Amino acid sequence: MTAPLSANHLTGEPLRATGKHIGIAGAGLMGRLLAWQLLRCGHRVGLFDRDKKNGEASAGRVAAAMLAPYSEALGRERAIFDWGLESITLWPRLLAQLEHDSGVQVSFQHRGSVVVAHQQDRSSLRHFNQRLTTQLPDRLDAVEYCDQQRLCQLEPELADTFTDAIFLKDEGCLDNWALLDALAIAIEKLGGQWHEDAEVTQVNSAVIVNIDETHTFDTVIDARGFGAKAQTPGLRGVRGEVLWVRAPDVRLSRPVRLMHPRYQLYIAPKPDSIYVIGATEIESESVAPITVRSSLELLSALYSVHTSFAEAHIIRAFAQCRPAFMDNLPRIECVDDCIKVNGLYRHGYLLAPVVLQATLSALQGNFHHPLVNTSCQAARVAEK
Question: Which of helix, strand or coil describes residue 370?
Answer: coil
Question: Which of helix, strand or coil describes residue 264?
Answer: coil
Q: Kindly determine how many residues on this chain lie close enough to bind ligand FAD according to the rule CB under 6 A.
A: 42
Largest separation between any pair of C-alpha atoms in the chain: 66
Binding mask 14-33 for ligand FAD (x = CB under 6 A): -----------xxxxxxx--
Q: Using CA atoms, how far apart are residues 191 and 171, in angstroms rounded to an integer?
A: 35
Q: Using CA atoms, how far apart are residues 122 and 261, in angstroms rounded to an integer?
A: 10
Binding mask 129-168 for ligand FAD (x = CB under 6 A): ----------------------------------------
Question: Which of helix, strand or coil describes residue 182?
Answer: helix
Query: Phi and psi of 253, rounded to 5°?
Result: -100, -15
The order of strands in the sheet holding 338-342 is: 193-195, 44-48, 21-25, 219-222, 338-342, 331-335
Q: Which of 112, 269, 348, 353 binds ligand FAD (CB under 6 A)?
A: 348
Show contacts with ligand FAD in window 185-214 (CB under 6 A).
199-200
| Span near ligand FAD by CB under 6 A; candidates 114-122, 142-150, 185-193, 320-328 | 320-328
Q: Is 344 in the site for ligand FAD (CB under 6 A)?
A: yes
Q: Is 178 in the site for ligand FAD (CB under 6 A)?
A: no
Give me the least distance between CB of 312 and ligand FAD, in Å please.
19
Closest CA to 192 of 364, 4, 23, 30: 23
User: Which residue lies nearer to ligand FAD by CB, 123 or 205?
Assistant: 205
Q: Using CA atoms, how far apart are residues 93 and 11, in angstroms rounded to an integer?
A: 11
Show contacts with ligand FAD in window 258-297 (CB under 6 A).
278-279
Q: Using CA atoms, how far apart are residues 349 and 353, in angstroms rounded to an integer?
A: 8
Q: Is 331 in the site for ligand FAD (CB under 6 A)?
A: no
| Span near ligand FAD by CB under 6 A; candidates 131-139, 153-161, 339-347, 363-371 | 339-347
- Residue type at position 201: T
Binding mask 33-72 for ligand FAD (x = CB under 6 A): ---------------xxxx---x-xxxx-xxxxx------
Q: Which of 350, 354, 362, 363 binds ligand FAD (CB under 6 A)?
A: 350
| Residues 31-64: b if buried by 16+ CB within 10 A, e if exposed | bbbbbbbbbbbbbbbbbbbbbebebebbbbbbbb
Residues that bind ligand FAD (CB under 6 A): 25-31, 48-51, 55, 57-60, 62-66, 199-200, 223-225, 227, 240, 242, 278-279, 320, 322-323, 342, 344-350
